[in-house]
Amino acid sequence: MTNPLFDLTGRAALVTGAAGGIGSAVAQALATAGAAVLVSDLNGDAAETVAAKIRAGGGKADSAALDVTDREAAGAVAAKAAALADGKLHIVVNNAGVTGPAMFHKISGENFRRIVDIHVMGTFNVSQAALEYIPTDGTGRIINVTSAAGLTGTLGQVNYSAAKAAIIGMTKSLARELARNQILVNALAPLAATPMTETIRTNEKFAAPMMARIPLKRWASPEEVAGAFVFLATDAASYITGQVLPVDGGTVI
């Protein structure tokens, strides 16, 4: 018997950067919990592959190509997601992101702006575009993806760390502002084995020092961290807002 606290039946979700890695796992986990999911990614074909997999498993999903730095495109995708649930968009997961590692003295202005545009402006664009569709009955959720880099800083990632720290500030401020509308805003700081973390997992220069920072001494699979997203999207988290939840094997304690 399904626990109603974790049942997302009848709710629509939009997940950005969902063609692979954590985003794909989150989209599939939300669908398994009953949500109708719009899988979006810069790579529209890859997003459709994930959506097709959800449908093949009996879930409800559609897909869309989305450059999160494009505010007009974000508006169109938010409307498409809301159409999955009669004009309401209950869950927004701002997951789209990239890295551009370099030591500070080597980071170009173009590199820095690109990281900030995708992470910070992308989160802003999608959240603002979705807001008009998010219900005010207590089921509305905005879930942003940050990182340990935004909490503690990361060597060689001033750009990424700055962007992820900005997302934390945005999350907390927006949570205060939207509480009056019963819309909950939280952030997750996940750590998983994905294409984005491949270099730090496989390069001898980085792998051992990184593993030394993880008390559980292993990397999670994307599926392993996806459950935390589902939790924050459900009624089980109805009294949680403005929080940052590290899902990182104890890296940030």
CATH number of the domain enclosing 190:
3.40.50.720
Per the CB < 8 A criterion, the answer to whether 11 and 139 are in contact is yes
Per the CB < 8 A criterion, the answer to whether 79 and 126 are in contact is no
How many Å apart are CA 247 and CA 217, to the nearest integer?
Answer: 14
What integer pLDDT is reported at residue 157 of this predicted model? 92
What integer pLDDT is reported at residue 82 of this predicted model? 98
Residue 214 lies in a domain: no
| Structural domain span for residue 72 | 4-195+222-246
Residue 216 lies in a domain: no
How many Å apart are CA 186 and CA 115, to the nearest integer?
Answer: 21
What integer pLDDT is reported at residue 55 of this predicted model? 98
Residue 202 lies in a domain: no
**Residue 98: C-alpha distances to residues 21, 120, 132, 139, 234 (Å):** 12, 11, 27, 29, 27
Residue 124 lies in a domain: yes
What integer pLDDT is reported at residue 1 of this predicted model? 63
Residue 204 lies in a domain: no
Which of the residues are catalytic?
160
Residue 92 lies in a domain: yes
Report the domain count for the chain. 1
What integer pLDDT is reported at residue 113 of this predicted model? 98
Residue 163 lies in a domain: yes
Report field, pTM of the whole predicted structure over 0.95: yes
Residues of the chain with pLDDT under 70: 1
